[in-house]
Chain A
Amino acid sequence: MNGKPQIESRATPVPGPARSIILFLCSWGPHAAFQRLQDECAPIPEAVKMVRIPCTGRITKALLFKPFEMGADGVALIGCHEGTCRYGSGTKAARANVRDTCEILDLLGLGATRLRLGLFLPDDSAGLLQFLRQFSDDIQSLDKSPVAPYPLPAVQGDPTPALNQVLREYDVYACQDCGKCSSACPLTLAGKTFSPRSTANALIAGQWDDEGVRRDIWSCLTCGLCSDRCPSAVNFPGFVREVRRILLAHGLGGHEAHGGFFQSLSRTMTSPDLRIHHWSWLPDDIQTDPQSKVLFFGGCAPYFDIFFRTHLGVTTRDILVDSLRLLNFFDIHPALLDAERCCGHDLYWSGDQENFLKLARLNVEAIRASGVEEVIVCCPEGYRTFSHDYPANGVETPFKVTLLMDFLEREIDKGAVGFKRLNRSLTFQDPCRLSRFEKKSALPRKLLGRLDSAGFGEMQERGGGAICCGNTAWTGCDAFSKALQVHRLRQARATGADLLVTACPKCQIHLRCAMQDPFIGESLEMETVDLTTLLARTIQWE
């Protein structure tokens, strides 16, 4: 250690700071350095709580973010230098994950400075100590994190009475055991051992604790195709959602895709003091007006693009820009909620009713305070949630909720508007929340029909009977969802179209995901664009 700075030892602990810092520490190189600090009783800031990890590259964005959801003030990820990582690409992956999570923290208003990557080898304990003290000082200089964690209450006791009540409320007893639901369920048809009928029957028989039943409750995509076919009109998606709520409340959590990142993100947004900067990235040429009586609600697309950037290259944020461009085209300069929060759709459908209601109340209160009379929503899930699920859960919306597509159709129908020639042949992926839940499958087709395209071909399953994109509310993503996406893309290609039009950011993400398959991806590849973007790029005054 000749020539290296001496590590300051301490006899008494430094007074405990009010902040909390989670340190994810690679157990290879940096841990040896950290251990030396511990051995020498070095003044490691007390705010730092260390978690040993196998490699920084294994720490996903979901894990990096999780401490923030739980109220941490700062997170440090400590790994090895490039070229020394024993897993080869760990440091590279860590850099990308930290960069993306920092961007998400910025959008959220927590600030990128709360997350930092450090790279240290075993012999650099002094450098590590300096890093930790500097990071701790920086975190101390910031305000305490405004995120107030809301742990789900674990209800004690048997969930059977609550489940029985839901069975009655949703009239699941009306099931005639005909099996039409299972024969329509895209997951079942994709080969998964999942059946809405048997799930319903098992719950009627009180077998909620059965491992298979609990798995199936989280497998369901809540796409609603089963209910569409059910002769007794059993609302199976709603029933599944309620069962998830009860099981979650009893501490019997389920499956959340992507490490639960998006549920974490939504729960973080339930903190009222969070100063979100949802629109900080908006291009300068978009015209908005804080005094407008019309508000545009965008949704979570900006977060999606950052999260999936490294492997999907999605640009769902463009949907928001193009929506605003279309509103500007029709001389609507809408107000925006700078602190826009998630609508809560994903929490609602993954059973976290309590946090969904918190988001709903915060959103409605913020919109009410802004004095707007109409809220235009471009995302089918957001529209469904605002127009249907808020009022159904007792959160009244004292404003008109309009789907952007409805607004556009109304304005275009007034006339004097045309579309530039589009030499592409189109097909359309129906979002389940729009086509099945809101029965609006004719609306996107009406808009597509207005385009001056080379043609439009319907997929084998379409409209109210269309197959889901394979994942709803960030649950149920697995190999069977993938099979479903592959099936859907093959249907799209079979139409002969060369452009797949989607109308929900998640549809675009999930279908693009299947196109990434290293073996069959090329045979599935199809240019994908959101309907909003297509309209914005071709619309013109005549």
Chain B
Amino acid sequence: MKKDQGPGGQTEIIFTGFGGQGIVLAGKILGEAVALGDHKESTLVQSYGPEARGGACSAQVIISERTIHYPYVRQADILVCMSQGGFEKYIDVLTPEGILILDSDLVQPRGLDRVHFDIPATRLAEELGRKMMANIIMLGFFTAVTEAVSFEAASEAVAASVPKGTETMNLKAFSKGWDYGRALLKGRQKKAEGRTGA
């Protein structure tokens, strides 16, 4: 699902979650990928404070074809939520046509009547043996469903940003999220065509 860029050719993105989930790292990798790999402009604003000890946390990323004059997100085009608190705090910032991405095991969008993308990123990370890689799985999923960043740029940025020696494992996590996203899009397309089974 290609996200149309917002006004001024820029896409405003918020990653939210608990401190310790690697939310800021995910935002940083995304910004780097866009700037270094896709040769666009990007900015990152990260939240500081008690978040590092498990509170709500966010990373605000702006991607643009042109110079970004203001780095804070006013109206999010894409909102990624990896905690219920983050979801509730930021859901109203998301534009009506924006893309909402949730960790389906951690966020319950009760009463929300809009299309969104779910992935059990934390559970998948546990299955891969590293719960701390949920952010990278989410980043892979984000890359697949939003196409805000290219696969190549994002995976290269992942490899360059994670601790030495964990590149293979993190790329596996990134692919896991990417595959899940592609499968989800394919499934939605099939359902729209009225073909759900084999």
- Interface size classification for chain B: 10 to 19
Q: Which residues of B from 152 to 198 have beta carbons under 8 Å from A? A: 176, 179-180, 182-184, 186-188, 190-191, 196-198
Looking at the complex, which one of A328, A413, A415, A542 makes contact with B198 (CB distance below 8 Å)?
A: A328
Mask for A22-51, Cβ within 8 A of B = 1, else 0?
000000000000000000000000000000
Query: B179 contacts which chain A residues (CB < 8 A)?
Result: 413-415
B60 to chain A, nearest CB (A): 28
Mask for B115-135, Cβ within 8 A of A = 1, else 0?
000010000100000000000
Query: A542 contacts which chain B residues (CB < 8 A)?
Result: 187
Of the stretches A241-249, A444-452, A533-541, the one at the interface is: A533-541
Q: Which residues of A from 401 to 420 have beta carbons under 8 Å from B? A: 411, 413-417, 420
B138 to chain A, nearest CB (A): 13
- Interface contact tally, CB-CB below 8 A: 44
A451 to chain B, nearest CB (A): 13
Looking at the complex, which one of B186, B197, B198 makes contact with A416 (CB distance below 8 Å)?
A: B186
A331 and B198 form a contact (CB under 8 A): no
A536/B180 contact (C-beta < 8 A), A415-B119, A416-B187 known: no
B198 and A326 form a contact (CB under 8 A): yes
Tell me the complex Cα distance, A538–B197, Å. 7
Looking at the complex, which one of B124, B196, B197 makes contact with A415 (CB distance below 8 Å)?
A: B124
Query: B190 contacts which chain A residues (CB < 8 A)?
Result: 541
B143 to chain A, nearest CB (A): 14
B186 and A539 form a contact (CB under 8 A): no
B192 to chain A, nearest CB (A): 10
B198 and A539 form a contact (CB under 8 A): yes
Looking at the complex, which one of B176, B184, B186, B197 makes contact with A420 (CB distance below 8 Å)?
A: B197
Q: Which residues of B from 21 to 55 have beta carbons under 8 Å from A? A: none
Q: Is A322 an interface residue (CB 8 A)?
A: yes
- Interface size classification for chain A: 20 to 34
A329/B197 contact (C-beta < 8 A), A416-B186, A416-B187 known: yes
Tell me the complex Cα distance, A413–B176, Å. 9
Tell me the complex Cα distance, A256–B182, Å. 50
B91 to chain A, nearest CB (A): 23
B198 and A329 form a contact (CB under 8 A): yes
Query: B180 contacts which chain A residues (CB < 8 A)?
Result: 414-416
Q: Is A341 an interface residue (CB 8 A)?
A: no
Query: A267 contacts which chain B residues (CB < 8 A)?
Result: none
Q: Is A325 an interface residue (CB 8 A)?
A: yes
A417 to chain B, nearest CB (A): 6
**B182, B188, B190, B198, most chain A CB atoms within 10 A:** B198
Q: Which residues of B from 100 to 147 have beta carbons under 8 Å from A? A: 119, 124
A325 and B198 form a contact (CB under 8 A): yes
A417 and B198 form a contact (CB under 8 A): no
B181 to chain A, nearest CB (A): 8
Query: B191 contacts which chain A residues (CB < 8 A)?
Result: 541
B182 and A541 form a contact (CB under 8 A): no
Query: B176 contacts which chain A residues (CB < 8 A)?
Result: 414
Tell me the complex Cα distance, A413–B191, Å. 19
Q: Which residues of A from 398 to 438 have beta carbons under 8 Å from B? A: 411, 413-417, 420
Q: Which residues of A from 514 to 542 have beta carbons under 8 Å from B? A: 535-542
B186 and A415 form a contact (CB under 8 A): no
A538 to chain B, nearest CB (A): 8
B187 and A417 form a contact (CB under 8 A): yes
B51 to chain A, nearest CB (A): 29
Looking at the complex, which one of B183, B197, B198 makes contact with A414 (CB distance below 8 Å)?
A: B183
A416 and B184 form a contact (CB under 8 A): yes
A417/B183 contact (C-beta < 8 A), A541-B190, A541-B191 known: yes
Closest to A329 in B: B198
Mask for A314-341, Cβ within 8 A of B = 1, else 0?
0000000010011011010000000000
Tell me the complex Cα distance, A322–B198, Å. 8
Query: A539 contacts which chain B residues (CB < 8 A)?
Result: 197-198
Mask for A459-486, Cβ within 8 A of B = 1, else 0?
0000000000000000000000000000
Q: Which residues of A from 282 to 332 have beta carbons under 8 Å from B? A: 322, 325-326, 328-329, 331
A540 and B197 form a contact (CB under 8 A): yes
**A328, A413, A538, most chain B CB atoms within 10 A:** A413
Query: B188 contacts which chain A residues (CB < 8 A)?
Result: 541
A-B contact pairs, 29 of them (CB 8 A): A326-B198, A328-B198, A329-B197, A411-B183, A413-B179, A414-B176, A414-B179, A414-B183, A415-B119, A415-B124, A415-B180, A415-B183, A415-B184, A416-B180, A416-B183, A416-B186, A417-B187, A420-B197, A535-B198, A537-B197, A538-B197, A539-B197, A539-B198, A540-B196, A540-B197, A541-B186, A541-B187, A541-B191, A541-B196
Leading 8 A-B pairs by shortest Cβ distance: A541-B187, A414-B179, A416-B183, A415-B180, A329-B198, A416-B184, A325-B198, A536-B198
- Contacts from B to A (Cβ < 8 Å): 119, 124, 176, 179-180, 182-184, 186-188, 190-191, 196-198
List 13 other contacts, CB 8 Å, given A329-B197, A414-B179, A540-B196. A322-B198, A326-B198, A328-B198, A411-B183, A414-B176, A414-B180, A415-B180, A416-B180, A417-B187, A536-B198, A537-B198, A539-B197, A539-B198
